[in-house]
Amino acid sequence: MIGVPLPVSTSPILRRAGSKPVFSDQRSGELGINNDEGFLFPAEVNEMKGGSIPMHGAAIMPSPVLLWRFKAGEHMGRYLKIYKQCAEVLLFLVWGISCCKIGWDSVMRMSADLRDLFLYEAFLYYNPLLLVTLMVWLWGVNLWVFAQSSVSYAKVFDLDHTHLTYREIWKCSTWMTIIVPTSMTAYLYLYSHGEVSLAASQPVMLYTVMLMLLVFPFDIFYLSSRYYLLRTLWRIILPLQAITFSDFFLADILTSMSKVLSDLERSVCRMVNRQVATIAWFEADSICGSHSLAIPLVLVFPYLCRFFQCLRQYKDTKEKTSFLNALKYSTAVPVIFLSALKYHVFPNKWTNFYRPLWLLSSVINSLYSFYWDIARDWDLSVFTRIFKFKNPHRCTSLLYGRIWVFYWVIGSNLILRCTWTYKLSAHLRHNYLTVFTITALEISRRFQWIFFRVENEWNKMTAKQSIELSTEDVPKEEDRLLGPASHSM
């Protein structure tokens, strides 16, 4: 009977592949086909009769053809994904080169005496949103590193499951990177070709669209995250409740973007007063010019918010560190207002009296802030775990536990804290390219500050949880007294 197929009518045919009994998907109508899958050996029949091999427990072995097709489809999907990403990067590069080319040609069409003034005005409208875009990109990098490491940023910020991931943050920053330079290129092109009214509408439309997307009440464009941001901003402006980690974390970021907020105020002021696409205001004093009192007020506003947050924390906790932290933010006030006095006092009085006071206050603010970053916000007495990823990664071997990382962080933080004065000083802002570069570097300093500040908070949370767990394991005094006796009568 060896080699003769069994006449099985309803059950699938059992065959042996290696040492595992498996079912084939042949039926009784296919038993006449000369195929190895149709043969059943007597030993296997006896095993089946004895019940040692249950029919329903056998595994289905897929066909090699199906496996090959599945693997081929998987590879094809991976290749299509890589091809799509390469095409997107190529289109992005073509778009960036086109914007640069159109913008450069538009600027070169202008006369040399008006070119610098025009670029200053264009930077005034667009550099705030460009710097905000940079901050969003870097925040996405922060979240990516947190997702790879053992630091749970969702628990640190007390976020629910609907919070944005780093991919969604990068998606938002990508759209911002496309929209803002495109509007800037259109502004340069239209103004250089004489379409002044159309050019003036470009920054107005851009700011309007950004504001509408932020406050849009419908469930699109990450509604819960947008309103979480707005609620946090409201708590920062009015610190009438207990201060959470998210509140003073975002307020600290806003202090690094005080120059961005100041330029936003000046841009909105020009739009409201219909001064867009005009350069005469730069040569004469106007309501949005250098003598405006709104400039130092907007610069100091994030520091005042952080100052009152620290006072609220001191009221709630009675901790001395909160009061010392409030003192740190108060040192930024003299830097800002002594600089603004240059436009309201005689030049000799500024040079002989107010300028030395401004320099002294700048040194105090920079050194105090640097000390607080290292000793309080970061607590570098222990090595950081932030760059130790859960899965093997080249960033882990490059950054984790390397002493040069700490030298770099401390040194760069000290240098950028000293340049802090430059961007806070109103009388130095006319060199717009230098101020733009320093502000971008300050955002980069805040970017690396975030790593160590969030991890330090995570270390405090885990240490507190471990202490609470250890205290729960210790039996209470009444439990030990009322427990079962250990002696026998």
Quick: pLDDT tens for 142-154.
Answer: 999 999 988 889 9
Mean pLDDT, residues 325-346 taken together? 89
> For residues 452 and 447, what is the distance between their CA atoms, to the nearest angstrom?
10
> For residues 276 and 203, what is the distance between their CA atoms, to the nearest angstrom?
8
Mean pLDDT, residues 21-27 taken together? 43
Output 446 or 19, whichever has higher pLDDT: 446
- Residue 130 has phi, psi (to 5 degrees) of -65, -40
**In the prediction, which pLDDT does 160 show?**
80
- Residue 60 has phi, psi (to 5 degrees) of -90, 125
Output 336 or 26, whichever has higher pLDDT: 336
pLDDT at 22 > cutoff 60: no
Poorest-confidence range of 6-10, 140-144, 404-408? 6-10
How confident is the model over 158-172, as pLDDT tens digits?
A: 888 778 999 999 999
pLDDT at 186 > cutoff 90: yes
Output 84 or 250, whichever has higher pLDDT: 250
Mean pLDDT, residues 60-64 taken together? 62
| Token pair listed for 144 | 């990516």
Residue with tokens 């849009």: 216
How confident is the model over 434-487, as pLDDT tens digits?
A: 888 888 999 999 999 999 999 999 988 888 887 777 766 555 555 555 555 444
Output 73 or 195, whichever has higher pLDDT: 195
Report CA dihedral (229, 230, 233, 239) to the nearest 10 degrees.
-110
**In the prediction, which pLDDT does 300 show?**
93
Give 451's Cβ-side CA count (13 Å radius).
Answer: 23
Poorest-confidence range of 34-48, 189-203, 399-413? 34-48
**In the prediction, which pLDDT does 131 show?**
95
**In the prediction, which pLDDT does 53 show?**
47
pLDDT classification of 29: cutoffs 50, 70, 90: very low
pLDDT classification of 60: cutoffs 50, 70, 90: low
pLDDT classification of 423: cutoffs 50, 70, 90: low
Poorest-confidence range of 255-259, 291-295, 311-315, 330-334? 291-295
The pTM for the full model equals 0.78
**Percent of the chain having pLDDT more than 70?**
76
In the chain, what are the domain boundaries? 14-61, 213-461
pLDDT at 140 > cutoff 90: yes
pLDDT at 209 > cutoff 90: yes
| Contacts by residues 246-252 (CB-CB < 8 Å, ≥ 24 positions apart) | 246/157, 246/158, 247/309, 248/306, 248/309, 248/310, 248/313, 249/157, 249/453, 251/302, 251/305, 251/306, 251/309, 252/306, 252/446, 252/453
Name, in order, each residue with C-beta under 8 angstroms of 89's C-beta and a sequence gap of 6 or more.
none
CB 171 within 8 A of CB 139: no
Output 15 or 419, whichever has higher pLDDT: 419
pLDDT at 408 > cutoff 60: yes
3-state secondary structure of 17: strand
Give 232's Cβ-side CA count (13 Å radius).
Answer: 21
DSSP class of 419: H
pLDDT at 282 > cutoff 80: no
> For residues 450 and 256, what is the distance between their CA atoms, to the nearest angstrom?
12
Q: What is the pLDDT of the chain when averaged over all its residues?
A: 80
How confident is the model over 347-357, as pLDDT tens digits?
A: 888 888 988 89
**In the prediction, which pLDDT does 127 show?**
92
DSSP string for residues in 37-78: GG---HHHHHHHHHTSS-GGGPEEPPPHHHHHHHHHHHHHHH
pLDDT at 130 > cutoff 90: yes
**In the prediction, which pLDDT does 291 show?**
75
